[in-house]
């Protein structure tokens, strides 16, 4: 086969370029220390390096998230500390008010309680550095708490706790909601006592307090099922307690139905997890038959406070109809059907006597929890009524087609510290000097405030403990992420970088090969047929 001079030159040029490229590459590797500069250098290593780089970027993002969460939790812990201080100050004022004997002094304390009430509202509506509300959940642009016209407070946030990823497998909550911080505090004052017999003799000589829950388990399992209870005094030292089925349960109670109104701590009725104090004013009455005659035959009813309901009309309603006097008409339906978030009652677009009930929040795609409601006509003077999820409302006026009513409920199982302070302030503002029975009501309010504020403080402490646990988890995860990052850096260095000794040898080799190819080209290019002679 004959090889033309052109082919020889072309082939030599290509080989020379390849050798030159190898020298350049070896020089770049030696100067930069990087072995894998393109995917073609080592496809397998390049793929692993790409994955490790992505992981490195994620670790950087996790580090930023950890810093953000730590800053938010530090801010939240500071606010919660101030909240706890405010709650404890309110409890101390309630204790102090118990020893005050004049209306003027109590009103002075009420002013202090009102200041704490405003301070607590401001703390709960705190914002972070970005201007977002700390305790509103995902509704960061909505103040968590607002004051209602009746002096109560409503939580306006949601229960969606925000979180950030701090590793491939771990998310950490960035903050807590007002629901978690305050709304879960147990209400110790969720019972009441009512004087019933004889109705014409309520001279407040004998009274029973509203009661305080001392055991939530006993209250739930026993008291609630047996209510209402009837307490009948048989003398100035004896009483009998019967449950809703008229069963005598006196023998099941501590003290077996005896009390001593002259000794502090000896005049109370402990009924299935609830303590009711007895107050008997026997001043000027001789002990024995006279005292017995004054007390015997008086009856009281002990029961749980009913849930309260707030109703608001939709602005677009065309009628002036209102829903009033809400009451639980079916405890079973109410317990199983009425949502914690409230309901929306929507009257039919064609028949204004028919309505449907939806769980809040309502959307056009919501399915009704009651879809066949109809107005029940009342015989005058009784009003027409409707029933939604076990709750019956009186209708004031005639609804129009499409009218809507939003209904929320306030259970007595829990109570936030804002409402507790509000109730304490209002109780201290009421006159009690010389008013029969007023001191008993005042003492009920003070006892309820101390117990409920203590429960609220405990709830806040639980959240603070949760913050501490999350901060510890972040510290551990940060250390773990740092370890993973160092390991990744070492692996990437091993895959991408080159041994400098090996690089020097390879560079020398490539330079030698380039020089050899140059010399060979020069020698061969000078050959001709005459060299054979």
Domain spans of the chain, in order of start: 191-305, 308-408
CB-based contacts of 169, cutoff 8 Å, min separation 6: none
CB-based contacts of 183, cutoff 8 Å, min separation 6: 155, 414, 416
Q: Which of 209, 185, 206, 186 is nearest to 197 (CA)?
A: 206
Query: Could you give the CA distance from residue 485 to residue 170 in angstroms, rounded to a whole number?
Result: 17
H/E element, 163: strand 163-165
Q: How confident is the model at residue 502 (pLDDT cuts 50, 70, 90)?
A: low
Query: Could you give the CA distance from residue 34 to residue 28 in angstroms, rounded to a whole number?
Result: 8
3-state secondary structure of 457: helix
Q: Supply angle C-alpha 319, 320, 321, rounded to 5.
A: 95
- Tens-place pLDDT, residues 438-472: 888 899 999 999 999 999 999 999 999 999 898 89
Residue 112 near residue 93, CB atoms below 8 Å:
yes
Q: CA 321, 322, 328, 332 torsion: positive or negative? A: positive
- Tens-place pLDDT, residues 517-530: 656 555 555 555 45
What are the tokens at 331? Answer: 């405890």
- Tens-place pLDDT, residues 398-434: 999 999 998 888 778 888 999 999 999 999 999 988 7
Residue 357 near residue 343, CB atoms below 8 Å:
yes
**Pure H helices in 233-322:** 289-295
Average confidence score pLDDT of the chain: 83
Q: How far apart are the first and last CA of the chain?
A: 22
Q: Which of 159, 75, 185 is nearest to 123 (CA)?
A: 75
* Other CB atoms within 10 A of residue 57 CB: 10
Q: Which of 277, 69, 275 is nearest to 173 (CA)?
A: 69
Query: Could you give the CA distance from residue 167 to residue 452 in angstroms, rounded to a whole number?
Result: 40
pLDDT, position 198: 83
pLDDT, position 22: 56
Residue 219 near residue 213, CB atoms below 8 Å:
yes
Query: 129 preceded by cis ω (within 30°)?
Result: no
Residue 206 near residue 269, CB atoms below 8 Å:
no
């Amino acid at each position: 086969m004959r090889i033309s001079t052109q082919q020889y030159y072309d082939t030599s040029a290509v080989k020379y370029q390849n050798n030159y490229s190898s020298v350049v590459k070896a020089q770049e590797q030696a100067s930069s220390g990087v072995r894998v500069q393109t995917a073609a250098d080592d496809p397998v290593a390049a793929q692993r390096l790409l994955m490790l780089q992505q992981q490195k970027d994620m670790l950087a993002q996790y580090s930023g998230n950890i810093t953000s969460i730590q800053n938010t939790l530090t801010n939240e812990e500071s606010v919660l500390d101030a909240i706890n201080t405010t709650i404890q100050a309110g409890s101390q004022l309630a204790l102090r008010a118990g020893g005050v004997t004049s209306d003027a002094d109590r009103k002075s304390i009420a002013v202090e309680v009102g200041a704490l009430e405003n301070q607590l509202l401001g703390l709960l509506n705190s914002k972070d550095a970005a201007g977002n509300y700390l305790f509103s959940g995902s509704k960061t642009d909505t103040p968590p708490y607002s004051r209602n016209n009746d002096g109560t407070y409503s939580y306006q946030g949601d229960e969606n706790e925000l979180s950030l990823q701090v590793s491939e497998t771990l998310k950490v909550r960035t903050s807590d909601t007002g629901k978690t911080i305050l709304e879960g505090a147990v209400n110790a004052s969720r019972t009441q006592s009512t004087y019933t017999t004889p109705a014409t003799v309520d001279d407040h000589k004998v009274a029973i307090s509203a009661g305080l829950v001392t055991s939530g388990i006993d209250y739930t399992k026993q008291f609630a099922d047996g209510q209402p209870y009837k307490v009948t005094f048989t003398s100035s030292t004896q009483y009998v307690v019967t449950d809703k089925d008229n069963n005598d349960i006196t023998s099941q109670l501590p003290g077996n139905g005896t009390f001593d109104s002259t000794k502090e701590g000896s005049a109370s009725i402990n009924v299935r997890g609830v303590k009711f104090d007895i107050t008997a004013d026997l001043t000027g009455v001789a002990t024995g038959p006279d005292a017995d005659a004054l007390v015997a035959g008086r009856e009281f009813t002990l029961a749980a406070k009913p849930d309260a309901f707030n109703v608001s009309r939709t602005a677009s309603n065309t009628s002036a109809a209102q829903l009033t006097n809400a009451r639980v008409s079916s405890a079973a339906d109410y317990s199983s059907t009425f949502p914690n978030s409230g309901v929306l009652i929507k009257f039919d677009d064609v028949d204004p006597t028919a309505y449907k009930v939806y769980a809040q929040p309502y959307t056009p795609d919501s399915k009704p929890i009651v879809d066949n409601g109809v107005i029940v006509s009342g015989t005058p003077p009784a009003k027409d009524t409707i029933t939604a999820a076990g709750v019956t409302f009186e209708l004031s006026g005639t609804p129009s087609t499409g009218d809507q009513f939003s209904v929320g409920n306030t259970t007595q199982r829990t109570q936030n510290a804002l409402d507790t302070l509000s109730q304490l302030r209002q109780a201290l503002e009421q006159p009690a000097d010389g008013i029969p029975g007023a001191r008993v009501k005042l003492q009920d309010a003070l006892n309820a405030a101390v117990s409920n504020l203590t429960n609220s403080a405990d709830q806040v402490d639980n959240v603070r403990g949760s913050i501490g646990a999350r901060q510890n988890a972040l510290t551990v995860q940060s250390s773990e992420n740092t370890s993973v990052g160092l390991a990744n850096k070492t692996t990437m260095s091993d895959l991408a970088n080159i041994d400098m000794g090996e690089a020097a040898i390879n560079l020398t080799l490539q330079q030698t090969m380039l020089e050899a190819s140059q010399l060979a080209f020069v020698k061969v290019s000078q050959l001709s047929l005459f060299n054979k002679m």
